[in-house]
């Protein structure tokens, strides 16, 4: 692994979780726990960092808690974010994340840490859906439509080829938790 260019003091701050810089915007990440799953949410753009060990908990987490996380993400503004460059890991800025999925129209991107398997997820359209549809049934339908597009996307096929089954399943597990099974 490459050595972090950050001074020890800064590294200490990262490791103790006082703050992590958002990889997407100029916001900082705040730790929240939803149904036993602890994630870091950006208080500026609503994007979320899922640590690899937290991703493993989705199997046991409840469907409603995915909706709860979306409600949190919807509190922030994700419009007009820059998707041009690749993101750096908020845990270690010397690591560049691998872009696994990007939908320009929906402004949603999924990026994966090539070392730990942790995932960054933009709020984008996911968060907007939460505000657009007042009824839970309509919201669920909208999320499921997105899930279908996501599963059929060329990026998922590419991920299967490059990352193998385990990595693809981890991202699919994340979406199943968010959208419901
Ligand atoms: Zn942000």
pLDDT digit string, tens, across residues 132-155: 887 888 888 888 888 888 888 888
* Ligand 1 centroid – CA 174 distance (Å): 19
Beta partners for residue 108, in sequence order: 103
Task: Give the separation between CA 116 and CA 136, rounded to whole angstroms.
Answer: 34
More confident residue, 128 or 14: 128
* Ligand 1 centroid – CA 137 distance (Å): 29
Range of the domain at 45: 8-179
* Ligand 1 centroid – CA 89 distance (Å): 13
* Ligand 1 centroid – CA 92 distance (Å): 16
* Ligand 1 centroid – CA 13 distance (Å): 18
* Ligand 1 centroid – CA 71 distance (Å): 16
* Ligand 1 centroid – CA 125 distance (Å): 15
* Ligand 1 centroid – CA 98 distance (Å): 18
More confident residue, 114 or 156: 114
Task: Give the separation between CA 40 and CA 17, rounded to whole angstroms.
Answer: 10
Question: Residue 2 domain-assigned?
Answer: no
Confidence (pLDDT) at 157: 82
The mean pLDDT of 113-121, rounded to a whole number, is: 92
Question: Residue 3 domain-assigned?
Answer: no
Is the pLDDT score of 181 beyond 80? no
Question: Residue 19 domain-assigned?
Answer: yes
Question: Residue 172 domain-assigned?
Answer: yes
SS3 82: coil
The mean pLDDT of 99-118, rounded to a whole number, is: 90
Question: Residue 136 domain-assigned?
Answer: yes
**16: confidence class by pLDDT, cuts 50, 70, 90:** low
Residue 125 dihedral angles phi and psi, to the nearest 5°: -65, -30
Number of domains in the chain: 1
């Amino acid at each position: 692994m490459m050595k972090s260019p950050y001074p020890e003091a800064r590294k200490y701050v990262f490791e103790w979780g006082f703050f992590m810089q958002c990889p997407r915007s100029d916001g900082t990440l705040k730790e929240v726990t939803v149904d036993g799953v602890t994630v870091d949410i950006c208080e500026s753009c609503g994007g979320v960092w899922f640590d690899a060990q937290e991703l493993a908990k989705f199997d046991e987490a409840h469907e409603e808690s995915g909706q709860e996380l979306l409600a949190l993400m919807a509190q922030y503004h994700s419009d007009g974010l820059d998707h041009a460059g690749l993101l750096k890991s908020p845990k270690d800025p010397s690591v560049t994340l691998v872009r696994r999925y990007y939908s320009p129209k929906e402004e949603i991107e999924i990026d994966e840490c090539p070392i730990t398997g942790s995932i960054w997820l933009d709020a984008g359209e996911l968060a907007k859906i939460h505000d657009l549809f007042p009824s839970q049934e309509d919201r669920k339908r909208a999320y499921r439509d997105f899930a279908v597009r996501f599963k059929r996307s060329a990026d998922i096929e590419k991920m299967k080829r490059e990352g193998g089954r385990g990595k693809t399943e981890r991202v699919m597990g994340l979406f199943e938790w968010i959208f419901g099974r």
